[in-house]
């Protein structure tokens, strides 16, 4: 029976749920170091981060470090997608338990780097997310595609090409133990 996107998502979510929590701090530390190296190697200033949910990789240390010298944005949910808002405190807990910065009237359209959480990744380095399609809709509206970094707390990758054409593709996938670059 061929692997489908929904079956692979289920498998990856199960894998994430069964990940031992006692080594989470160590895994997140390794991931933050790799992420920081990747971003610093690109020398770009406008970065879209995400604020982590409990089952996602915690990249807050990198966010805090880079916000001093870079322009950092967070997603702000609007309908079935989101827009970018500048990272500023305090953050408020919103829909799906996501923390967001306050809304802004600015219409920000250009970012250099996007850091995107993933549940799984296929052979084309296309993202399998939580199934809402928010990042897909957001990326479709951008005029220029940013350098896209996928982040996973635990590697969930298949060589099969199971994603749709509209699923966003990453330039690199970073996990605590592995880095995969798109060919």
Residue 54 has what DSSP assignment? Answer: T
- The residue segments making up the domain with residue 79 are 5-181
pLDDT tens sequence across 80-115 = 777 777 787 777 787 667 776 777 666 677 889 999
Q: How many domains does the chain have?
A: 1
Residue 173's domain is classified under what CATH number?
A: 3.40.50.10420
Which of 146, 149, 139 shows the shortest CA–CA distance to 172?
A: 149
| Radius of gyration over every alpha carbon of the chain, rounded to an integer in angstroms | 16
35-42 own/partner pairs: CB under 8 Å, 24+ apart: 35/59, 35/62, 35/115, 35/149, 35/151, 35/174, 36/62, 36/65, 36/66, 38/149, 38/172, 38/174, 38/179, 39/66, 39/113, 39/149, 42/112, 42/113, 42/147
- pLDDT at residue 96, rounded to an integer: 67
Higher pLDDT, 176 or 101: 176
Entry pTM: 0.88
Q: What is the pLDDT of residues 18-76, one digit of tens each?
A: 777 778 888 899 999 999 999 988 888 889 988 888 788 889 899 889 888 888 888 87
| Whether residue 124 has pLDDT greater than 80 | yes
pLDDT of 16 > 80? The answer is: yes
């Amino acid at each position: 029976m061929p692997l489908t996107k929904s079956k692979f998502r289920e498998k990856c979510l199960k894998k994430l749920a069964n990940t031992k929590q006692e080594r989470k701090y160590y895994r997140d530390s390794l991931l933050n170091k790799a992420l920081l190296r990747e971003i610093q190697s690109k020398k770009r200033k406008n970065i879209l981060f995400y604020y982590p949910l409990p089952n996602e990789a915690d990249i807050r240390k990198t966010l805090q470090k880079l916000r001093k010298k870079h322009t950092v944005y967070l997603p702000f949910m609007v309908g079935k997608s989101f827009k970018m808002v500048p990272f500023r405190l305090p953050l408020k807990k919103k829909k799906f338990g996501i923390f967001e910065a306050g809304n802004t009237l600015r219409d920000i359209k250009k970012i250099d780097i996007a850091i995107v959480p993933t549940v799984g990744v296929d052979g084309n380095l296309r993202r399998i997310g939580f199934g809402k399609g928010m990042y897909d809709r957001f990326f479709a509206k951008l005029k220029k595609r940013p350098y896209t970094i996928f982040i996973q707390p635990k590697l969930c990758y298949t060589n099969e090409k199971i994603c749709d054409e509209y699923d966003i593709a990453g330039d690199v996938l970073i996990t605590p133990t592995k880095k995969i670059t798109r060919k």
